[in-house]
Amino acid sequence: MIASYDMMREGDWIEMPQYGADGDVIDIGLHTIKVQNWDKTVTSIPTHKFLSDSFKNWRSMSESGGRRIKRAIHIDMNSIRFLEDADIERFENFLLLRDYMQEKKREIEEYNAPVGDTELVANARRLTNIGTFRAYVVRYLRDHPKSHTGMTLMVRQLSPTPQGLPLEIYMFSNEIDWVTYEGIQSDIFD
């Protein structure tokens, strides 16, 4: 049954926490499946448990060629503000923001034109530092050489928490090797 449904193969990384298994399948037997855990211990699990209990097989991640990075940066909500003209001028010189700033500036000018009195904050659209930072992060990640271009990439705001406003990065690395992947993830967040 395990082989005919291709539920796992030797060499697959599986997780079955209820049996203390988190590592590579090293033997698939009629009665027992052995998993070498990452700490080099071996866990033996009755084969029938893989038919009755849930487990996670990471093979499709390996085959896809991409590994997910999902982490949030918490922004102090008291630091969020509208951009001043000097900020806009400065950000227009940032290579990763140049196109964004030009497009947003045009878009906001068109929106605000019929409004007239834009001095009242409620009457006009404005750029914020959080929106501009999010655009910068998106462009940085898209241009990153280890970003998987064929998979989802987004940067989004989550619901505020006591730690601040979470800005979540959701993307895929084009490297699946664990050590390499962790290095890429660290480089992105450093």
State yes or no: pLDDT of 121 exceeds 90: no
Give kind and range of the element (H or E) at residue 188: helix 178-189
What the chain holds in terms of domains, given with CATH numbers, is 13-64 (2.30.30), 66-81+140-190 (no CATH), 83-127 (no CATH)
Q: What is residue 168's predicted lDDT score, i.e. its pLDDT?
A: 98
| Structure tokens belonging to residue 73 | 């940066």
Average pLDDT of span 5-12: 92
State yes or no: pLDDT of 120 exceeds 90: no
State yes or no: pLDDT of 33 exceeds 90: yes
Could you tell me which residue, 115 or 11, shows the higher pLDDT? 11
State yes or no: pLDDT of 111 exceeds 80: yes
Rg, Å, the chain Cα set = 24
Residues 6+ apart with CB under 8 A from 40: none
Average pLDDT of span 140-153: 96
State yes or no: pLDDT of 52 exceeds 90: yes
> Nearest 5°: CA angle at 22, between 21 and 23?
115
Average pLDDT, the chain: 94
Average pLDDT of span 82-94: 96
Could you tell me which residue, 62 or 165, shows the higher pLDDT? 165
SS3 186: helix
pLDDT band at 87 (very low <50, low <70, confident <90, very high): very high
Q: What is residue 2's predicted lDDT score, i.e. its pLDDT?
A: 81
Nearest to 168 by CA among 138, 127, 140, 126: 138
